[in-house]
Amino acid sequence: MLRLAGARLLGDRDYPTVRAVLAADPVASCMVSARVEVSGLDPWRLGGELWAADYRGSRATRLPGLCFSGPNLIPLRGNASALRLFADRALRKQRICSSLVGPAEQVLGLWDELSPEWGPAREVRADQPLMAMESQPAVAPDQQVRAVRPEELDRYLPAAISMFIEEVGVDPRAGDGGASYRARVAELIAGGRAFARFEGGEVVFKAEIGALSRGVGQIQGVWVHPDRRGRGLGTAGTAAVVNRLVNGMGRTASLYVNSFNAPALAAYRRLGFQQVGRYATVLF
């Protein structure tokens, strides 16, 4: 009988096997696929490490466990034994990730292993429907939502900061005065992946394509100005981003949302999103 041998660091020679694993569930793996497709598996280029839990004797052909370790810890597959191996490897050094996120079964199982050392978490979001759609949105897109231009960074950034505080519960400017977050937002804008509706020079709707793989784009940071909520701006604005992904980029549009956010769930379902899985997030 094959037994788990341990968690090992993957390298570029493992790329074909890793790509096959990621392609088996392109929506759930979008965040990791987006990195791997651009950077390969070398940790320096990847901005993190990709770990495998292997069976003895099947190194080249099977990856029963796969986990990305970087700014976020993302376990994509693995049974209890594999998750225990990932936890052992993660606990060998100081925690660097800001969250544990991914398929709920793996995230919650890995957190069970890590929580005695890394806990308590600031928040555990155990039920986040993972949703996707490949067709034209069922709601007319807001024609005033467009890609943000690089010279509009300073007008866009306050809305991005407000969204982050509301969603994550911390100020992204803490620590380095916001330099890292500003650079990340600027990167999204430069890549044509930040979208907004401006009124009087102020952002009233925003959203971003946070991860973009060859087949899937993951929408994040959907936000409506507090004074304009309840008027359909979020639904029509998100439809514009979906339209850009599906019709403009030829990708499946995806996102994940907290199960307790009933208004957002209803809006996404009106657009045509269907649940395809379940995510969970542990925030530190």
270 and 175 in a single domain? The answer is: yes
Q: What is the pLDDT of residues 182-208, one digit of tens each?
A: 999 999 999 999 999 999 999 999 999
CA–CA separation, 189 and 221 (whole Å): 13
191 and 69 in a single domain? The answer is: no
CA–CA separation, 216 and 254 (whole Å): 7
171 and 109 in a single domain? The answer is: no
244 and 172 in a single domain? The answer is: yes
Token duo for residue 60: 């080249």
Domain endpoint, select from 100, 119, 138: 119
In contact, 193 and 244? CB cutoff 8 Å: no
150 and 76 in a single domain? The answer is: no
Q: Is residue 202 part of a domain?
A: yes
Q: Which value, in Å, is the radius of gyration of the alpha carbons in the chain? A: 19
109 and 184 in a single domain? The answer is: no
Kindly compute the dihedral angle of the four CA atoms of residues 255, 259, 260, 262, in this order, to the nearest 10 degrees.
Answer: 70
Pairing of strands 252-256, 216-224: parallel
Q: Is residue 251 part of a domain?
A: yes
Provide the residue range defining the domain that includes 191: 146-277
Q: What is the pLDDT of residues 156-170, one digit of tens each?
A: 999 999 999 999 999
Q: Residue 64 pLDDT > 90, yes or no?
A: no
pLDDT band, residue 4 (cuts 50/70/90) = low
91 and 161 in a single domain? The answer is: no
Residue keyed to tokens 């899937």: 216
